Amino acid sequence: MESSPVQRSTSEHVARIISFLTISPFQIVVYMVFANIICHNFIQEILLNTISGTFFLLIPLIPLWYLGRQNRIKNYSINREDRGILLLIQISGFTGVSIIYYIYPTYTGLDTTILFIFAVGYTLLHVFSLIITSGLKHKISLHMTGAASSITALVIVLGWEWAFLYLSCLPIAWARVKLQAHTRAQVIFGTILGILTLFFIYLGFGYLF
């Protein structure tokens, strides 16, 4: 039976809410949880989270804010043609915070290895996304790459009992397809790319096994 206009309107509204709420919360959860593991007191956590928030939240939101002001974002999705500059800015920010995490122990005595590996993996993930978007002229779901990669980092560091977090990818995937921002193939590929990239980065740095 075909959905009524009211039902379609309601489901699309729900999909927009999900899409808005899942732009970057998983990355925030990762760096805050990891900071709690790394730091010995509240002041150390505040400082480390401020650094992480600047590079994982503030810098990536600047181009999103600009594109939004230009009415070039629809249903929380960016045209493939506009993604190149967005990804370049994000790659620059993630590269910068990777360097900071790498030298952080020298000045603070805190072991930021898990954050460093996550930042390197996240940088590489966005490089792959840039190649796919600008080089191969394809589009994948950045919502899904962000969620799946962040959850993978949490599962690797905290343990497999946290794998249930992958279930949160289901409503995000539904929302992106519902709003016609992506095809099913694009959300599936984004999910797989996010999981595999972070898995092999942690593996490559010897964190696994």
Q: pLDDT digits over 146-175, tens only?
A: 999 999 999 999 999 999 999 999 999 999
Q: Compute the distance between CA of residue 198 and CA of residue 200 in angstroms, rounded to an integer.
A: 6
CA 154 to chain CA centroid, Å, is: 12
CA atoms within 13 A on the CB side of 199: 10
Residue 80 is predicted with a pLDDT of 78
Task: Take residue 109 and report the two structure tokens written for it.
Answer: 């005595």
Number of folded domains that form the chain: 1
Residue 63 is predicted with a pLDDT of 86
Flag whether 209 is in a domain. Answer: no
Flag whether 20 is in a domain. Answer: yes
Q: Compute the distance between CA of residue 73 and CA of residue 62 in angstroms, rounded to an integer.
A: 13
Residue the block writes with tokens 């690797």: 156
Residue 81 is predicted with a pLDDT of 80
Flag whether 110 is in a domain. Answer: yes
| Domain residue limits at 179 | 5-204
Residue 209 is predicted with a pLDDT of 55
Could you give the 3-state DSSP secondary structure of residue 74? strand
Residue 7 is predicted with a pLDDT of 58
What is the maximum span of the chain, computed from C-alpha positions, in angstroms? 64
Q: Which residues in the chain show pLDDT less than 50? A: 1-2
Strand ranges in the chain using DSSP code E only, listed in sequence order: 73-74, 77-78
Q: Compute the distance between CA of residue 9 and CA of residue 13 in angstroms, rounded to an integer.
A: 6
Residue 28 is predicted with a pLDDT of 95
Task: Take residue 120 and report the two structure tokens written for it.
Answer: 């390197």
Specify the amino acid at residue 159. Answer: G
Question: In degrees to the nearest 10, what's the CA dihedral of 20, 191, 127, 137?
Answer: -90
Instruction: Decide: pTM greater than 0.75.
Output: yes
Residue 66 is predicted with a pLDDT of 87
Flag whether 163 is in a domain. Answer: yes
Residue 134 is predicted with a pLDDT of 86
Q: Compute the distance between CA of residue 118 and CA of residue 139 in angstroms, rounded to an integer.
A: 23
